[in-house]
Amino acid sequence: QSALTQPPSASGSPGQSVTISCTGTSSDVGGYKYVSWYQQHPGKAPKLMIYEVNKRPSGVPDRFSGSKSGNTASLTVSGLQAEDEADYYCSSYVGSDNYVFGLGTRVTVL
């Protein structure tokens, strides 16, 4: 199972929006609703931001939203803030109780 494809970097100015893509296949992203997104600041453990494609855990700002079209999932961060600067990883169920992470995207707030 190969890692899901994400752009290495994305950026935006404070207040703007940034969208990160996560591309897989019909055997993972396209085949299941179990896509999650994680935020990771340097030296810290990842934090769950989105699960089941578009659901937000309690405490995650509604500036973070998720969607999916075909084999590509997306995370959008609206109203960018300085604290949103971090690495973001997608993850998908791939069947047979297996999961896979994406390559990761570094988001920079300009």
Partner 1 sequence: QVQLVQSGAEVKKPGASVKVSCKASGYTFTASAIHWVRQAPGQRLEWMGWVNTANGNTKYSWRFQGRVTFTRDTSASTAYMDLSSLSSEDTAVYYCAKEGFPGAGLDYWGQGILVTVSS
In contact, 49 and 64? CB cutoff 8 Å: yes
At position 76, the amino acid (one-letter code) is T
Question: Which residues in the 33-52 window bind partner 1 by CB under 8 A?
Answer: 33-34, 36, 38, 40, 45-48, 50-52
Q: Are strands 86-95 and 72-77 parallel, antiparallel or unpaired?
A: unpaired
Question: Which residues in the 60-99 window bind partner 1 by CB under 8 A?
Answer: 89, 91, 93, 96-99
In contact, 107 and 84? CB cutoff 8 Å: yes
Binding site for partner 1 (CB under 8 A): 1, 3, 32-34, 36, 38, 40, 45-48, 50-52, 55, 57, 89, 91, 93, 96-104
